[in-house]
Structure 1
């Protein structure tokens, strides 16, 4: 219609652009786009050599449990497709068997062979990971039933585990007063307005404090950083209000020292967290960042034992820091052990990840027997070495001759198809919370699924065909 108006009456094009479509028209078009994306995804699925699933479950505004299932598949040309496979609504219980029934139904509906399932990544909740009746146990049994030689790699979301590791730092005595302080200022309207005015009058570096949200991975570190940077203004503001006695921690040098340590270590963890976020990440890249962080923790502990605070600039400003060195070294050592414990599932596949990511530097003798001869051939081929330097990793493996490197290609397909995190699910839940909100709570599960698919897809619908199809329907308003 807009294109027609541009030809017939270009001066009125703006008016046509402002015409809002009816609810039924918008709904119909969302349904058509969703159907087209599903058709395109079905075509992609048929070519998958292997695929992985990322699963996460959360309640919407109506307390309906929504199970998100994302698929990451790889074809013979090493083209990787990462899409929302389905959103399944659970009206009753969310036990392992209930989740398995939903996942199984989706896999059967999409005609995905269980034998090609390489990996399942979850957030680690008991109903998903239970050893006897959880979803993963049932999936493993189903895969073994179809292909006894197939081992499914089960992973706990790498970002979720990294976030959980900070619990060993035992920072509650720091975090609780900080959260209490933020709530005192921000949760009370008058206090908040007066504090903002105070910051403007004192020409502070920031204009406000941040709220802490437990469901946001970077929240705690950012909140602590902001409070630390405004601590002098906060202290003056509380004295002005006669409330300084309610927060004695701000005058406690030992507490401030612990606070400074928390600011620095949480800053390091946030840097790691940012590196782990994002779509289409390969697991070997994600786990490389985790391994690097474990080495950094060892370095931090050794340096701090020698009373060096090179990588803890906030703590270095505290005169009392040297008195608490032993305590901080213990915290860093505890965190290192926690990282090793929590990432044991990634450690099991680390050799395979390194082999696929750096095949030219691997010792063939330490590789699995079926890969040894192929690795020698690869490392002796100067053309392949040049390709490895110039091509993306999946394109490099796609360029390898299938007859010469069958096992190496197969191993690469499995490692490149893995989901390292449930980040895609978390992003989709954010879209869900925006679209199915308090004033839009009657949105049906079917339409919510369509919205999530359209919002997260990388596939391009055939809009020309959809436009023609819409014209043919002539639906009345």
Structure 2
């Protein structure tokens, strides 16, 4: 791992493996003076005892200093906002800030809460428990009992329905909820028929014929599908923070639009709900839920909102107002906007390539400004993906894998670096070992 980065950022997440060992994944995204981005797994730190903020901090300090990285080049750190990571007084991020302030008083470390995790937490603002609970009950009745499940699938096959089965509910899978609600809605008549055939009385049967409950079901499906769509857009590796903000910002605006239209009993952007005539009382209820969702998004995405002016300058430097830009780049921004050749080049190349092509002599502060923002982790998606790999490689059948071997396996599996095989072979003294 090279330590000659102009700036670098870290993404951190901690989870427990099959042996109950806490594993802290540390991913790095660094950028050098040529604007070449490097995104790699920096280390897997195994914690055998407690996992307090101090323990995690010690592991990160060891990792950073072992790899030769310097603290005043760390631009940001992104976590899932667990207490040990972000505690107010002794959390990992707080301790990292303290260390940087002590050694480099002029340097500021940005910290972010994983945007995907924040988005999933926003669903708590929705009052749809009375919709979800009956749905979960009917799913558990069908899927948890083998006979019921076989009979239900056979009935769907006989009826030649579009769906051949019902989705099993998992409370830890955020995307599953929206899909489950939609599948149950599509199969509601068949589910009622099956329950009546079995002589089973559940709240689901009563709710599905109640117009008010049916409207709530439609609202829950429509809003959950919109949240799911945003969630999918926020996933993926190598997403820049400003690219994530491109999805979050308009979604907040859409929620405000939905709320205003709900106040007028208009639901034109809700595919199911717009099919019904919604009373003023029901519309007010949905408006209140949408308002609560707007407030929750504003609260949880405040760190991204604070950086929006800088993201706008980064993404659209030729239309940015110099007066609103940081003072150290104002003059360079005006010089950039006056250069027609650069303006044309900006239209034809990627953002990273454009800023990398700028003259370091003419635009030193602007290049540094761009480098600092282009490497921010907006989420810990890369960590979650790596944890899936970790669980495969250290399963119950391979639980004795040592920490050293696990670290090596994870580095190889998650690495994007291409080995220089020719150079490796040339440096080998013996190409074939003796037997």
Same-fold call, TM cutoff 0.5: yes
CA gap of 1:361–1:58, structure 2 versus 1, over 3 A, is: same
Is this contact kept in 2: 1:304–1:325, CA < 8 A?
yes
| Alignment-derived partner of residue 118 in structure 1 | 75
Distance 1:189 1:470 in 2: 63
Query: Aligned pair in 2 of structure 1 residues 467, 223: CA closer, same or farther (>3 Å)?
Result: farther
What residue number does 1:220 align with? 177
Alignment CA distance shift 1:194-1:79 (3 Å): same
Q: Does 2:17 align with 1:69? A: no
Q: 1:428 aligns with which of 386, 389, 406?
A: 386
* Equivalent position of 1:355 in the other structure: 313
CA–CA distance in structure 2, aligned partners of residues 391 and 379 of structure 1 = 17
Asked if the contact 1:235/1:244 (under 8 Å) is kept, the reply is no
CA contact (8 A) 2:265 2:278 kept: no
> Is the 1:117–1:143 Cα contact (8 Å) retained in structure 2?
no
Deviation at 1:283, TM superposition (A): 0.7
| SS of equivalent to 1:218 | helix
RMSD: 1.9
Tell me which residue corresponds to 1:237.
194
Q: Quick one: distance in 2 between partners of 1:450 and 1:361?
A: 47
Q: Is the 8 A contact 1:279 1:424 kept in 2?
A: yes
How far off is 1:188 after superposition? Answer: 1.1
Instruction: Report Cα offsets for 1:287-315 as digits up to 9, x if no partner.
Output: 12111001000111122222222111111
On the 8 A contact 1:315/1:321 being kept in 2, the answer is no
Spell out, residue by residue over 1:452-474, the C-alpha distance to the aligned partner (whole angstroms, 9 max, x if none). 22222211124566689698574
Corresponding residue to 2:13 among 52, 56, 64 = 56
CA distance in 1, matches of 2:317, 2:434: 58
More helix by share: 1
Distance between the aligned counterparts of 2:374 and 2:95, measured in 1?
A: 24
**Which one of the candidate residues 303, 307, 318 is aligned to 2:261?**
303
Match of 2:114 in 1: 157
Provide the C-alpha distance between the structure 2 equivalents of 1:102 and 1:180, rounded to a whole number of angstroms: 44
TM-score, length of structure 2 as denominator length: 0.95
Q: Which of 111, 135, 155 is residue 198 of structure 1 equivalent to?
A: 155
Report the secondary structure of 1:360's partner residue.
Answer: coil
Name stretches of at least 5 consecutive residues in structure 2 with no aligned partner: none
* 8 Å contact from structure 2 (residues 3, 67) kept in 1: no
Deviations 1:302-354 (A, max 9, x none): 22222222111111234456551100011001100111111111122221111
Q: Which residue of 2 aligns with 1:23?
A: none
Alignment check: 8 A CA contact 2:134 2:203 kept: no
Match of 1:396 in 2: 354
Partner residue, 1:29 = none
- CA-to-partner distance for each residue in 1:173-204, whole Å, 9 max, x for gaps? 11122122211111111111111111111111
Cα distance in 2 for partners of 1:215, 1:432 equals 19
Secondary structure of the residue aligned to 2:318 is helix
Name the structure 2 match of 1:260.
218
The alignment covers a number of residue pairs equal to 433
